[in-house]
Amino acid sequence: MEGTMRTPIIAGNWKLNKTISEAVALTTALKALVVDATGVEIIVAPSFTALAAVSDSIAASNIHLAAQDVYSEDSGAFTGEVSAPMLKDVGCDYVIIGHSERRQFFGETNESVNQKTKAALAHDLKPIICVGEQLEEREAGQTEAVIKSHVTGGIAGLSAADLLSCVIAYEPVWAIGTGKTATPAQAQEVHNFIRGLLTKAYSAEVASQICIQYGGSVKPENTAELIAQPDVDGALVGGASLEAESFAQIVQNVQ
Ligand code: PEP
């Protein structure tokens, strides 16, 4: 099936940036710039402290709210963690899970990604499951093996109905925050491989409905050629999502 059947998703991962007032200033500007955007799902992912204010700011707009992480348990003695019911309560529709920075710096594993994914789904939050190889892995010819373990590990045990609520974000680690974007052909090759994995694990019908975002130095100038690839269904954007104009331009360039 053609990629055009899937609504592209553009998500801004703000990472460890923005105070509450800065976050609201950004969404206030962004709302006005994307008010007429159609045929694209727009998401912002502020830090936990700004979620409530941003949720109010984007209420009744076409922008959706995501968190950058979630814990696998709903409540209890887990100091410092934030749960799926709490994220739902504050207005999140999505949650980013398994970002490479969390895998690299905070001990995230395929197993914890899987547990968090299940917790999110249990509370009607859509997981954006991040997968991606490091430079050394690509150079050693291990890209497909790494992607396979991230994808199959992350979605292990999910029903087809649950999988349909998930988004996969392919983010080659060597392209994140480096200014080195994967070429459209490199992105397409891996996205096609991921869709093939989903086809084998579920069916072509299910796989054809899953949105697979690309992430890694996405900018207004490279969005259109990436999104033109048949299996690239949107972007997870870091640096360029921190300014309303550049993020809105990316949204514009997928339409
Ligand atoms: C990200 O962290 O998800 C990301 C893709 O960052 P950047 O766009 O800055 O490379």
Which pTM does this prediction carry?
0.97
28 in any annotated domain: yes
Assigned domain for 60 exists = yes
Does 226 reside within a domain?
Answer: yes
Note whether residue 90 is domain-resident: yes
In a domain, 4, yes or no: no
How high is the pLDDT of residue 255?
A: 85
Residue 244: CATH number of its domain: 3.20.20.70
- Does the residue 175 lie in any domain? yes
Identify the pLDDT of residue 102: 98
Helices vs. strands in the chain: H and E counts, helices first? 12, 8
Mutation test of ligand 1: which of 128, 131, 135, 218 has the most ligand atoms closer than 8 Å to its C-beta? 218
Task: Look up residue 121 and give its two tokens.
Answer: 């789904």
pLDDT tens, residue order, the chain (255 aa): 444 489 999 999 999 999 999 999 999 999 999 999 999 999 999 999 999 999 999 999 999 999 999 999 999 999 999 999 999 999 999 999 999 999 999 999 999 999 999 999 999 999 999 999 999 999 999 999 999 999 999 999 999 999 999 999 999 999 998 988 899 999 999 999 999 999 999 999 999 999 999 999 999 999 999 999 999 999 999 999 999 999 999 999 998
pLDDT of residue 2: 43
User: Quick check: CB of 172 below 6 Å from ligand 1?
Assistant: no
Range of the domain at 147: 9-32+40-253
Active site residues: 99, 171
pLDDT on residue 5: 80
Phi, psi of 64 (to 5 degrees): -105, 160
Question: Is residue 186 included in any domain, yes or no?
Answer: yes
- pLDDT at residue 3, as a whole number: 41
In a domain, 1, yes or no: no
pLDDT at 130: 98
Residue 187 is given by DSSP the state: H
Domain count, the chain: 1
Distance 65 CA to ligand 1 centre (A): 17
Question: Which distant-in-sequence residues (6+ apart) come within 8 Å of 32 by Cβ?
Answer: none
